[in-house]
Structure formats: C-alpha cells, structure tokens
Structure 1
Amino acid sequence: MRVLVIGATGHVGTHLVPRLVEAGHDVVTISRGAAKPYTASRAWAFVDQRQIDRAAMERTGAFGQAVRALKADIVIDMICFTLESAEQLVTALAGHVGHFLHTGTIWTHGYPTTVPTREEVPKSPFGDYGIQKAAIETYLLQQARLQGFPATIIHPGHIVGTGWAPLNPAGNFNLQVFSTLARGDTLALPNFGLETVHHVHADDVAAMFMDAIAHWNASIGESFHAVSEQALTLRGYAEAMSRWFGREPNLTFAPFDAWAVGQTAEDAEATWEHIARSPNCSIAKAAHLLGYTPRYTSLQAVQESVGWLIGKGLIKT
C-alpha cells in the first residue's frame, strides 16, 4: 500500500513512519520544513519526503488537489486543526482514497460526565482547539456514514516519550515541578490533587494507527481513544514520581485560586486548561475492535520522557 503521512516528523510520526516502512508500505510524507524526527531510524532512508506548506496551499485551495495527486491508498493526517481544512481535504480525496485517518484529541470531550469516558458519550468541548476538533470529528463521521468516505479518527491523550516534555503532576509543563519532586522539596497542588490527566506514549498512538489500518472494516466510520490503560490523579502522579526519584512525597494542597497565586500566569492557565477537562478515557472500544493494547502505562511513558530530559540536563535532580 502507498501511505501518505501529513505532518510526519512530529512525535507520533517519529514512531509511525518506521512502523509503516517495516510493515512493507510505500511511504511518502509531507511536512512544512526540514524538521528531523525525534529519534533516528534507518527506515527514513526509504521514505519519499516532500516539503509542502499546507497553510499557504490551503489559502489558494490547492492543498487537497496536491494530496490527491500523490495517489496514496491511505492518507494519515496528523495536523488538521480546523473544519475548513478537513473539508478541503475530504472534498479532494472522496472516491480517491481507500482509508483516511485523522488525528483528533481527547479534548473533544470537554469536561467528563462519566468515567472512564467512552467515545460515544455526548460531548461538551470548550476552547477553540477542542471545539474545532469536535467539529472535524462530527463532519468526518457524517461523511463516513452518509457518503461512504473511509474515515477513522484517533484521539490521543497527553503524548509523551523521548524528545518530549511531559505534562507534569501540577497539570502544566514547568520542568521545575519534576526537579522539586527529585529534591524532596514541597510541591503544592491545586484543590485536593484528585483531578486527572491521561498520558499516552507516542509509540502507542502509532501502534493504534497501525491497528486501525490492519482492521479496516472495524475502524471505518469510528473514533477511538489512544491513551494508556489508566489515567492518573495529580496526587497519585506526584507521589509515584517522588518515589521514582527515591523520595517520599511532600505535598501540600490549596483551592485553585489560592494555589494559582504562587504560580506564573502561564502555568496557572495551563493547569486550569487540563484540570477543567480532567480526562479519564476508556480504551475498551479500541481493545475490542482493533486489538489495541498499549505497551506503556502513563507512569512508564512519563518516566521515559523525564529520563531523557535529565540526560539532557533540562531537569535538575
């Protein structure tokens, strides 16, 4: 099969492209620049890599036709963020592609109402990113079920792995949180630390794309969560990482508004964005229909990221 990956040098693409090559596919990739994958692989020597500025071509309405001209059997879109962008691509590819896989996000759910959250529950997305991704999902599923367009949507959680700074136990991306835990110093968490985050290793996301391709009949017209088996509470995450560093947890708690006073505006906003959603997503559907079995727990995936960051001197222990 000829497989086109749009946005292939990102974190998931770093793992997905070699998997596709090793599976015997003829792989072509599109990216805006000459960015390198996060980890090296000899498989990239067998990939036809094209540089195309998607945003510029979409403004002229030419991107969909450029993708269609590459004559791929399977198209994997890693970087579609607006409904208009999705519509342009689907219009060009309808009747000319055997499988179209879109990268969504668990943020399409907004706040959870039941946990673990299943893919089919009514959604209440908020924030432009989640709203747009939810609109894309609705559109693609309608096209699949009403027009026969062969779409599958994969919704990753908080992606982690080598080369990536993970979402930390305070619900933001400040690496000093890990340094604080490594030293055994006191870490303040918002509320009771019981909100959840749901990580996934980038290679497990790549594996789900491969599972969806392998189970074409089961994946068409469906969406799937790509996450680890279990979400983490902020408190549980902090305690586990403290012990991984060889320390006993030293945590304090405060209502969010009081906690935020001691944080930068950027960190407080990022934490609010994550704990307001508190994802805890089910993988039962993916396991049943695709045979998806993540290799990494949330903690294992995070620990790989943190180990890499320590090696780079970006986290001080």
Structure 2
Amino acid sequence: MKVLLIGGTGTISSAAVKLALSRGAEVALLTRGTHPELVPDGAECIRADIADEEKVRKLLSGRAFDAVADFTVMTPEQAARDVSLFTGNTGQFIFISSASAYQKPPVRYPITESTPLRNPFWSYSRNKIACEELFTAAYRSEGFPVTIIRPSHTYSERSVPLAVHGENGSWQVLQRILSGKPVIVHGDGLTLWTFTHADDFAKGFCGLLGNPHAIGEAVHITSDESITWNDAYEAIGAALGVKPNLVHIPSDFLAAFDPELLGKLLGDKAYCGVFDNSKLKRLVPGFQAEIRFSDGVRRSVEYLRSHPELQTPDPEFDAWCDRVVAAHFAGMKDLGNG
C-alpha cells in the first residue's frame, strides 16, 4: 500500500508512520523538514510546505496513492485545497478532525459519532466542523473518498497531557509538582476524561488506512479508559514520585484570567469526555486500546526527565499560575469574612 502523510512528525502522526511502516506500507511524508530527526528510517521525505499548492502539485505530479492523510488541515480553505490537490489520485483521503467538535455542552453519554457537532466556545472546533462539512459535501457530490477521524487528547512519550499549561508545554507544571507549588485543576477535578496514547491511536488509524468500509465515514479513535482529572494529576505526581498539591478553580474563573482557556476548557475539557468505540471496533476488528493512562504518562514523564532539550522553562506561565491561585484564595477569604 502506498501512503502519503502530510505532517507525519507530530504527536499522533509519528506513531502512525512507524506502525504503517512496520506493517509493510510504502510511506511518504510531505513535511517542511523542521524535525528531520523524527522522520523514521524507511519513510520517503518530500520536503515542501503544503500551503505552497503549486510546488506540491508539481512534486506529486504523476504519483498516485492508496491513501493520503493530512494531519495539518485546520481551516475550510485548507480543506478545499486538499480536495483540489488529491481528487483523482488517491483511493482514500483521511482528514484528522477533533473530538472537541462534538456538541458542547453534551446532552448525553457516551459520545458516539452521531452526537451532533456544535461548539460555540472554541473557534478551533468550529473550523474543524466546517472542514468536515466541506469534505463530506465533496464526498456526496463528487465521490471524494474521505474518511474523517476524530481523536481525543492523544499524547505520546514527548508530551504529558494536561488541561492547563503554558505555551512551552508541560514541563513547568511538572516543576510546580516537584517543588510542591499549587497546581491548577479546572472545576472540581471529578469530570471524567479520556486520554489516548499515540501508539493506541496508531492501531486504529492504520486499521482504517486503505479500509474501503471507512470511505464516507466519521470515526473517533479513543481509549476505552476514562478517569477523573484528579486521578490524572495524581498519576502524573506518582510518576514523578511526589503527591501533587492540587488547587481546584472554576473553568470560567480561569478563562477570565486567560481568554484562550475559554475554548480549551468550556469548549472541551470542562465536560466529561466518555466515548463509545463500537463503530471503530466494527471497522477495525480486534482494535483495543491497551495503554492505561498511569503507564502511558509514566513513560512520558521518564522521557521528559531524560531529555533536557524538552525541559523548557515557562516563567510567564509560572507567574500566571501564582496570580490565579492568589486571586482564588483571596476571593475565598473574602467570602469567609462576608
């Protein structure tokens, strides 16, 4: 099977590339080349920016693929570009959407692929919905062979999954845990959430790759394990050998201090994320997510601690946390004196 992956060096795509290669696929990566160290042996590297449509069209001229997957599409304009680029030269096109596109707030659980798509809180999710609509319309009108995949909070050895962190990633939160400083958990920490390790995602992805029964379908790939946010942070602390000092702060209070969190929390992580994976298991018989969060996050913590180049300090985020926690406790004190 000849496969083209656009991106291919990110959190979820790297694992997918490795598994596809191990299963005998001929894999080509269309990448800007910013992380050549993440391109695995055996994969062809086509260096180009997918945004340069003319150059990409020339580079791919005369080539056909059994499947193309684009991990980089974020807007309807980019989706329309891909329909133009790949109509007629692939047997399947996989669009990586997001489980955050599902209705917020949700009205019932578990979430299935038929759950309505609506997210008034997060422009990222609304753009993904618009992309899905464009690809689906191309499938219905022109037979564009799209498969839509909706991941939910997928992580790998290179990333510790968190709800609230700064622009430099998770390291500063780990430092706060290690030093005993307050660590912010949104809400009461009791909502259920689903974390999916990239290696488990890859098994679902590769099972859908080149799968004719997946054409025209939308499928989420998630773990079957759901845990509370409190348990997630406790597992991170256990991996560090420290009990974290958790401080619970309402999501809308956090968003008042950082409007970017409005989408990421109220548009996603503030609600339970529990998924029905029966559709995936019908399309990919034998699929089973095997990596429990406690084991997966231990791998992530060990990897970060052994790779100093990934230990990026974030003093701005650290100071922000201190301000938010101070304001939270000040408000509680005022209420107590009222």
Q: Same fold (TM over 0.5)?
A: yes
Q: Is the Cα–Cα contact under 8 Å of residues 171 and 275 in structure 1 kept in the other structure?
A: no
Matched letter for residue 213 of structure 1: L
Q: Assess, with a 3 A threshold, how the Cα gap between structure 1 residues 279 and 66 changes in structure 2: closer, same or farther.
A: farther
The answer to whether structure 1 residue 203 and structure 2 residue 189 are counterparts is: no
Cα distance between partner residues in 2 of 1:51 and 1:183: 43
Written as runs of structure 1 = structure 2, the 5 A alignment for 1:29-40 is: 29-38=29-38
The answer to whether structure 1 residue 80 and structure 2 residue 73 are counterparts is: yes
Q: Assess, with a 3 A threshold, how the Cα gap between structure 1 residues 149 and 260 changes in structure 2: closer, same or farther.
A: closer
Matched letter for residue 129 of structure 1: Y
Offset, 1:249: 5.9
Aligned to 1:15: 15
The answer to whether structure 1 residue 132 and structure 2 residue 136 are counterparts is: no
Q: Is the Cα–Cα contact under 8 Å of residues 104 and 156 in structure 1 kept in the other structure?
A: yes
Written as runs of structure 1 = structure 2, the 5 A alignment for 1:174-213 is: 174-182=170-178, 186-213=182-209
Deviations 1:138-180 (A, max 9, x none): 222333344332211111111211222x232657754343344
**Pairing partner for 2:219 from 207, 220, 224:** 224
Structure 2: gaps of 5 or more residues:
314-338
Matched letter for residue 301 of structure 1: G
Cα distance between partner residues in 2 of 1:256 and 1:108: 19
What SS is found at the alignment partner of 1:29?
strand
Offset, 1:7: 0.8
What SS is found at the alignment partner of 2:209?
helix
Offset, 1:302: 2.3
Cα distance between partner residues in 1 of 2:261 and 2:176: 15
Cα distance between partner residues in 2 of 1:76 and 1:258: 38
Q: Is the Cα–Cα contact under 8 Å of residues 192 and 227 in structure 2 kept in the other structure?
A: yes
Deviations 1:161-215 (A, max 9, x none): 1222x2326577543433444456654433311234432112222222211026x
Matched letter for residue 84 of structure 2: T
TM-score normalised per structure 1: 0.82
Matched letter for residue 217 of structure 2: E
Q: Assess, with a 3 A threshold, how the Cα gap between structure 1 residues 114 and 67 changes in structure 2: closer, same or farther.
A: farther
Q: Which moved more, 1:93-102 or 1:73-82?
A: 93-102
Cα distance between partner residues in 1 of 2:68 and 2:225: 30
**Pairing partner for 2:158 from 160, 163, 168:** 163
What SS is found at the alignment partner of 1:55?
coil
Structure 1: gaps of 5 or more residues:
none
Aligned to 2:4: 4
Q: Is the Cα–Cα contact under 8 Å of residues 205 and 221 in structure 2 kept in the other structure?
A: no
The answer to whether structure 1 residue 115 and structure 2 residue 109 are counterparts is: yes
Q: Assess, with a 3 A threshold, how the Cα gap between structure 1 residues 157 and 64 changes in structure 2: closer, same or farther.
A: farther
- Number of residue pairs the alignment of both structures matches: 306
Offset, 1:66: 5.0
Offset, 1:309: 1.4
Instruction: Give the root-mean-square deviation of aligned CA atoms.
Output: 3.1
What SS is found at the alignment partner of 1:221?
coil
Q: Is the Cα–Cα contact under 8 Å of residues 13 and 37 in structure 1 kept in the other structure?
A: no
**Pairing partner for 2:299 from 285, 297, 304:** 304
Identical-residue share of aligned pairs (%): 25
Q: Assess, with a 3 A threshold, how the Cα gap between structure 1 residues 36 and 272 changes in structure 2: closer, same or farther.
A: farther
The answer to whether structure 1 residue 99 and structure 2 residue 99 are counterparts is: no
Matched letter for residue 289 of structure 2: P
Aligned to 2:319: none
Cα distance between partner residues in 2 of 1:259 and 1:89: 37
